[in-house]
A and B are shown apart, each in its own frame.
Chain A
Amino acid sequence: MQSKMRNLILAVLTVSMLLSLAACGEKNQQDGDQEVNTPQTTRADTNEINVGIPQDLEDSLDPHVTTAAGTREVLFNVFEGLMKADPEGNIIPAVAEKCDVSDDAKVYTFTLREGVTFHNGQTVTVDDVVYSISRCAGMLDDGIYTAASTLKGIVSVEAPDDRTVVITLSEGNTEFLASLVTTYAAIIPADYTEQATQPVGTGPFKFASRSPQENFVIERFDSYWGTPAKLDKVTYLVTAMDTAVMSMKSGVIDVFAHLTADMAKSVEDQFTIEKDTAKLVQALYLNNAVEPFNDVRVRQALCYAVDVDQIIDLVVDGNGVRVGSSMFPAFGKYFDESLSTYYTHDVEKAQELLTEAGYPDGFSMTITVPSNYPQHVQTGEVIAEQLKAVGIMAQIEQVDWNQTWLTEVYANRNFQSTVVGFDTSTLTARGMLERWTSDHGKNMINFNSAEYDELFRQAIACTDDGEQTALYKQMERILTEEAANVYIQDIYNMVAVNPGLEGLTFYPMYVLDVATISWKEA
């Protein structure tokens, strides 16, 4: 009798242990819910929404410093540059009212908009603009290294009067305005030192609070110069991808971007799923400096061995587009469709190339993947399986995004291969292509091609748009021919939106604009 009872208890305990594993994540969300919600009122009543983000904003809140795409996606709503992008990808004035460009594209004269104020109440002056541009261009000796290297060609930033700012470049650059739309070139108050923790900008939303690993709260900025945001408050909830579906189903989250195909399917009965390409290039990025990837034949063999169509089918359920080079289809002008099918799945050809390169029986390699991005993890898994066909044994190493990937892989280049997506915040091909020039600080893959570097020099010096586009396309072709990386796809960005909301707008950049979102009239 006694032993039967004990068996029963034992069985219950075993099951509950398993369940508790699955339930840990859920509990956190409930805690978060109580914090942002009073029980009786809905978020529609208080005119606020909760947006789920898969990772915390950990690197820095300083727009000139932060590099993580996920952070910039959020900060886009807090900061603005002199210019900004509209949903079609056109560059329109923001903090500046207008801009005159000299004929040789060397001198840019900006007239400041009147009545633009910072979130701290101060009016934006030419001093702030001069400070901001000098700072993000790395001209101040304060150790700020901005990721937007397109700003590096600036010779001087001057303010001849209190409404005009003149930026002079070392050489003509027709794309300069495009590099000003990013958060990298955000206008911030001069000599404000708390930017990394208490960001102050000019955007439609102002920073309210942040609780690490929990949430990031922004509120509508009432003195915004342009169309005011429709929502009063937006709370970004840090929600691990594996618990996101539960949080969405329980109604804690109203908007969640970058859904996997599985997640989209799980929530499509409760949410509207909006789709657009994510404007990023997902690839198996190869460290071109380490064995065996320093041999172009090995890299090409990988390109032949990997079946991109199967990845698109299995990992994203068909919600992806082949890319073929470091350019995504949304950049229609620069995208070269023919490159996307340059390598077709061909195991025999891969085998031949490997034999030529001295690896007839394949080799072992490690694919490092950030564990918080299931799409990248799963892509790695599929690639590992596909590579077996040519004898390559790929071991997958899941790492933490902040602790390991950003430092070890991205900064220290201590990796063999990794699956991630690269985006650009500038609206030109330069943002995607410059990082692979041989001496670039963020050339994580150690790509080294003199021809590529030379083409890039020509492209940025070029003032003729058509010619420049052709040069960029040549660079893309080199990346493909040299098999710099195993290019995979641009994944559709699937956003789950609470059906009670409207106004979600997509941009040709990796951002989520919450200023246009509003609750539908009841």
Chain B
Amino acid sequence: MKRRNWTLRIGGCVAAVMVALILLGTVWTPYDPNALAGAEKSMAPCLAHLFGTDNFGRDLFSRVLEGGRTSLLIAFCTVAIGGVCGTVIGSLTGYFGGLVDEVLMRFNDSVSAFPNILLALVCVSIFGTGKYKIILVLGVLFIPSFARIVRGEFARERSRDYVENARIMGAGPFRVMFAHILPNVKTVLLSSVAIGFNNAVLAEAGMSFLSMGVQPPDASLGRMLAEAQGSLFTMPWYALSTGCFMVLLILGFSLLGQGLQEQEREL
């Protein structure tokens, strides 16, 4: 009997709910996330304000949704850049091997030797902050991890019988790579996308926390956590709501990634 993959299901559900909430936030939030309201400042969670309000009277639920959207946007774009470039580089080097493979992979190693967040901070202090610069910086920094995984898979797959067969039938190298091998490494790729997504959310939050990431008035979960820190004792709901939202977002995608890996093992 096939065992039910609960990790995948729970992860998928949590991630789907979080993404749905955030997508809902792009079209509708209970309040304008940036609207100042002096009369309603520092309110504890209640029916009108589910997560309470901050010291400017801004509705935290709306702000968390907006911050989540920023995180989501940055994470998706980062993973898209990293994933696409990484897959192309990884598949080429993995399939062909040789000198180019050696050079690119050693370069890869040297980049991976530094923690991503450190490199990102260095880049940001050189090129400046802002949403799009962060996407670009993180995206480029995420290429090596994807390239490494894809390269490993391609190197393993290229000597398989089905690849040999495709080649004998006269398929060109690009057809073999992207039409035959790629579908077979799909699950590995998907699970690393989910993990990369989490890393991107954390990297963005970390940078914004250090005020080197997303700049106001753009909301960001990391910056909200930094702001919440000053009022941890007077307004605990500020840090809690922001923190929990981030935990759930990351947990959902983590479980999803893990579930995908399990799925692959069972196949």
Contact = CB atoms under 8 A, between A and B. Distances in A.
B7 interface: yes
Contact of B129 (A314, A384, A388, A397): A397
Contacts of B239: 22
Nearest to B129: A397
Contacts of B36: 310, 314, 382, 385-386
Contact of A397 (B34, B215, B225): B215
Nearest to B217: A384
Contacts of B56: 314, 378, 381-382
19 contacts: A3-B258, A3-B262, A7-B258, A10-B251, A10-B254, A10-B258, A14-B254, A18-B225, A21-B206, A22-B229, A241-B230, A260-B230, A261-B55, A262-B231, A266-B230, A313-B41, A385-B35, A385-B36, A396-B216
A453 B229 CA distance: 46
A117 B231 CA distance: 46
B246 interface: yes
Interface string A255-266: 000001111011
A102 interface: no
B250 interface: yes
B216 A3 contact: no
B24 interface: no
Nearest to B249: A14
B45 interface: no
Interface string B15-40: 00000000000000000001110100
B217 A381 contact: yes
Contacts of A395: 215, 217
B35 to A, nearest CB: 8
Interface in B112-155: 129
Contact of B234 (A243, A265, A378, A394): A265
Nearest to A396: B216
A6 interface: yes
Contact of B209 (A6, A21, A262, A380): A21
B232 interface: yes
Contact of A242 (B57, B205, B226): B226
Interface in A248-275: 249, 260-263, 265-266
A186 to B, nearest CB: 34
A380 B247 CA distance: 29
B216 A266 contact: no
A242 B254 contact: no
The size bracket of the interface on A is 35 or more
A380 B215 CA distance: 11
Nearest to B39: A313
B247 to A, nearest CB: 6
A245 B230 contact: yes
Nearest to B234: A265
Interface in A16-48: 17-18, 21-22
A398 B211 contact: yes
B235 to A, nearest CB: 8
A107 B55 CA distance: 55
A66 to B, nearest CB: 25
B215 A398 contact: yes
Contacts of A317: 55
Interface string B223-267: 001100111111100010001001100110011001000100000
Contacts of B38: 310, 313-314
Interface string A262-304: 1101100000000000000000000000000000000000000
A396 to B, nearest CB: 4
Nearest to A6: B258
Contact of B246 (A3, A18, A398): A18
Contacts, number: 95
B177 interface: no
Nearest to A11: B251
B225 A21 contact: yes
Contacts of B209: 21
Choose among B129, B225, B230 the residue with the greatest number of A CB atoms under 10 Å from its CB.
Answer: B230
B202 interface: yes
Given A241-B230, A371-B211, A396-B217, A385 B202 contact: no
A222 to B, nearest CB: 40
Nearest to A267: B233
Nearest to A374: B230
A262 B251 CA distance: 31
A450 interface: no
A15 B240 CA distance: 12
A310 B217 CA distance: 17
Contacts of A14: 247, 250-251, 254
A198 to B, nearest CB: 31
Nearest to A241: B230
Interface in A112-140: none
Nearest to B10: A7
A262 B230 contact: yes
Contacts of A384: 216-217
B55 A314 contact: yes
Contacts of A15: 247
Contacts of A241: 230
Nearest to B222: A21
Contacts of B251: 10-11, 14
B215 A18 contact: no
B157 to A, nearest CB: 26
Contacts of B206: 21
B7 A262 contact: no
Nearest to A312: B38
Contacts of A7: 7, 255, 258
